[in-house]
Amino acid sequence: MGPSALSSTLLGMSKAKVLIVGGGVGALEAALALHDLAGDRAGVEICAGRGDFVYRPFAVGEPYGASRVLRYSLERIADLCDAEFQLENVASVDPALRLATSHDGDEIPYDYLVVAPGARLLWSVPGATTFWGVPDEGEMRDVVSRLREGRLRRLVFTMPGGHGWALPAYELALLAATELERSGLTGTQLTIVTPEEGPLQIFGRRASEQVAELLAEHGIEVITGTHPVAYENGALAVVPGEEIEADAVVSLPRLEGRHIDGLPYDGRGFVPVDDHARVPDLPGVFAVGDVTSFPVKQGGIATQQADVAAEAIALDLGCEVESNPLDPVLRGILWTGSKPRYLFGWLGGGHGETSVASERPPWPIDNPSKLIGRYLTPFLSELEAANRAPSSAAG
Ligand SMILES: Cc1cc2nc3c(=O)[nH]c(=O)nc-3n(C[C@H](O)[C@H](O)[C@H](O)COP(=O)(O)OP(=O)(O)OC[C@H]3O[C@@H](n4cnc5c(N)ncnc54)[C@H](O)[C@@H]3O)c2cc1C
């Protein structure tokens, strides 16, 4: 919104309408940050294609029976942060008219738009089992059953190159190793095939070396610099190199930004953003999370983008806030089946050597959340506490 439109909105005592498209990590962090930073000056509407917020980081434990994917009602969350909630899929936006249109043809005007519809998950390795990170993954459970019955001589975990989030593949492999160690089965080789040059290299050199040591301790073989192509007749074709024999291959999906007509997309299907999460040349339009061209698709990054977008909007609305550019930091918790490892690394320069993988979190922590956002983490932990309260009181 330009200054004149802004002042007329404020003089008329009406709120600026901020439309948030999506009901995931980036969307909720943006709603919570706006509630805190812009207060009454922003009227927030969350528009999402499903009615619940799906908390995916626990998905890796589900096929092993160690955890489950959590879900929270978006209507309830919106209520708690004084926002409106609409169950609508947004199909297109007209940035010149500041108007979004839903799949059902409903028109939704806005002053500011925060686009956070996430990424589409696509098959990446034909013939392999894809780990989608959703509940009831029959195929994945079948792989775990065969592992438990000692029917796999070699199980490969892999991931496509390009934009994504590799950590779940390492967790799946470590959880499989723990299963084998606990059951005393010795005939299975676990292998990770990765396009990365070192395991979880995105966290930096030191963390990657420490993860490599951890994998070696569990007997997990790592083949780096290698792209999976297809799994057929008991062999994984890779580039470069010879095919790798395997009784089962589990791959992470390939990601592509979810498309909304009227927005710009790069060649990989992601929305370009600057370091304030603004979509270039579209005043009032921000994008955050997996839909953006930022190469790392992680919830923590989505929340940091959402925070800088909320700061920029709040500043525009005349609130006393600082609007800082994104200085992305990666914090990750790697499940191992026993003691988790806390991974830390700054993605931008200028912070010296920060890369580490340790048994204790190198950042202040109130609860061991796998999804780290300034507003979302404490909010979800309060929500969990409130959800538990009635049953503990009862019994
Ligand atoms: C198995 C797995 C484990 C992971 N573990 C971690 C972890 O430990 N820590 C971490 O930080 N990250 C983790 N991630 C990554 C993290 O889940 C994503 O980076 C994060 O969810 C991205 O947030 P987002 O808001 O961009 O998209 P999402 O969280 O995917 O949310 C997208 C939302 O938009 C809605 N939507 C889609 N299209 C439309 C539309 N047209 N109109 C309206 N609404 C729409 C969807 O219904 C959904 O509510 C993991 C991912 C996976 C798959």
- Round to whole Å and give the CA distance between 137 and 130: 9
* Domain contains 40: yes
Tens of pLDDT, residues 192-214: 999 999 999 999 999 999 999 99
How confident is residue 306, by pLDDT bands cut at 50, 70 and 90?
very high
User: Which of 287, 316, 345 lies at the terminal end of a domain, its last residue?
Assistant: 316
**Two structure tokens written together for 289:** 């999370």
Query: 293, 298, 375: which to mutate for ligand 1, most atoms within 8 A of CB?
Result: 298
pLDDT exceeds 60 at position 106: yes
* Domain contains 321: no
Count: domains in the chain: 3
Same domain, 383 and 308: no
- Domain hosting 27: range is 3-118+258-316
CATH of the domain at 308: 3.50.50.60
Using CA positions, which residue lies closest to atom 30 of ligand 1?
A: 118
pLDDT exceeds 50 at position 148: yes
CB-CB contact of 226 with 211 (8 Å): no
Q: How far is the CA of 290 from the centre of ligand 1 (A)?
A: 7
Tens of pLDDT, residues 38-88: 999 999 999 999 999 998 888 898 888 888 888 999 999 999 999 999 999
**Two structure tokens written together for 175:** 């959880």
Region 183-189: mean pLDDT is 93
Tens of pLDDT, residues 18-38: 999 999 999 999 999 999 999
Q: How far is the CA of 282 from the centre of ligand 1 (A)?
A: 24
Mean pLDDT of the chain: 91
- Round to whole Å and give the CA distance between 128 and 280: 38
* Domain contains 333: yes
User: Which of 253, 283, 304 lies at the terminal end of a domain, its last residue?
Assistant: 253
* Domain contains 322: no
The per-residue DSSP string of 157-218 comes to EE--SSSB--HHHHHHHHHHHHHHHHHT--S-EEEEE-SSSSTTGGG-HHHHHHHHHHHHHT
